[in-house]
Structure 1
Amino acid sequence: MAVTPGPNNILLAASGLAFGFRRTVPLLLGLAAGCAVQLLICGTMFSWASAWLLDARPTLAVVGCSYLFWLAYRLTRAGAPGQREAAIPVSAVTAILVQWVNPKGWVMVLNACVLFIPKEGGLTYVAFMVVLSPLIQLPCTALWAWGGDRLRIWLKNDQSLRVFNMLMAAMLAAISGWMLVDELLAP
């Protein structure tokens, strides 16, 4: 799931475009760290977390998707190429927090817990997942940041960049809307 399109990867591609790969590294690392922390907490308290999340899922979906809609809106208002130097890339700490409101991130982490932690539990499995997660996630998500960085070559003028930002924002909003509707209409 780390390499598939989703909110984090769209943010990485947009940040790579706006700031280049090097300035996107904090976002990249923060998202991986956020996922690892999420895995650690969900894995060690999985039985409690799964019961709590059943009741909290609709609220998490609304809060998470609302935040993603806000990010999509912000992306539509992203600056022109000449304004890039004044803009500030997403920090690693903010990226860690983004993971907590990302519905796809929750699905990925909870599925990993269900599929890879034995029913009887075991911190060894959790520790293995926490260490392995960034090793898998970083190369997958770095592709998105690198792709955004490479797009800078073709999107140097204001009009091309505006079209790209609108397309990325539309994809982020569409993914968020789809996840929200799917969650709220699920039986």
Structure 2
Amino acid sequence: MVFAFVASITPGPNNLMLMASGANFGFRRTVPHMLGVAGGFVVMVVLVGMGLAQVFQIYPVSYTVLMVVSVLYLMFLAWKIATAAPPREVEHVGTPFTFLQAALFQWVNPKAWAMALTAISVYSPSKDLGAIVLVALIFGLINLPSVSTWTLLGEQLQRVLTNPLRLRLFNFAMAILLLASLYPVIFANGAGPL
């Protein structure tokens, strides 16, 4: 439970995007995004535990391909966040992630992969279905309140982000932080770029 909490509450692509969504769209409109993160990650943990992680052992290049695609997609999302429309334009142009988009995002989220692989290898090394489901449920129960905290923080920031310039600066800062969250992925173990 402690690992699930620390992994879920610390900054990463999901939490930064949820904070930006909370600031831009509010808590209520971001609920499907939050539920998609929590639900999508639970499914990911179960599938990783049931053997999906072995694909990376059998075909090591698949992990590299996944990381490259993930980094490129997160760079695209950072650009979308940095160039998000100001509040008056958001009602017409921007929309928060849907449940399905957030659930599918877990599959290109490097932090989600690291969390799922670590959780299964450390807390369910036998790959027993009961243990896998228990790890997934614990993550689901802890992840949703954790990601909700980031959304609430973003929503509270709406009070400060009362003009288009402040919102643009906030969105730009969130985009930079999202890109910074890729540093451990790109430069893993001091081995240099992927």
TM-score of Structure 1 vs Structure 2, range by shorter chain: over 0.9
TM-aligned CA deviation for residue 131 of structure 1 = 1.7
Q: Which residue of 2 aligns with 1:99?
A: 106
Q: Which residue of 1 aligns with 2:37?
A: 31
Aligned length: 186
TM-aligned CA deviation for residue 24 of structure 1 = 0.5
Q: Does 1:9 align with 2:15?
A: yes
User: What code does the residue aligned with 2:20 have?
Assistant: A
User: What code does the residue aligned with 1:94 have?
Assistant: Q
* TM-score normalised over the length of structure 1: 0.93
TM-aligned CA deviation for residue 46 of structure 1 = 5.5
Q: Alignment partner for residue 160 of structure 1, among 135, 158, 166?
A: 166
Contact 1:46–1:113, Cα closer than 8 Å, also in 2: no
Contact 2:55–2:62, Cα closer than 8 Å, also in 1: no
4+ residue segments displaced more than 3 Å = 52-55
Q: Which residue of 2 aligns with 1:123?
A: 129
SS at match of 2:146: helix
Q: Which residue of 2 aligns with 1:111?
A: 118
| Aligned sequence identity (%) | 35
* TM-score normalised over the length of structure 2: 0.89
SS at match of 2:8: coil
Q: Which residue of 2 aligns with 1:181?
A: 187
Q: Does 1:74 align with 2:85?
A: no
Kindly provide the CA deviation profile for residues 2-57 of structure 1, in whole angstroms up to 9, marking residues without a partner as x: 11111110100000001100110100000111111111101111562451464322
Unaligned runs of 5+ in 2: 1-6
Contact 2:53–2:117, Cα closer than 8 Å, also in 1: no
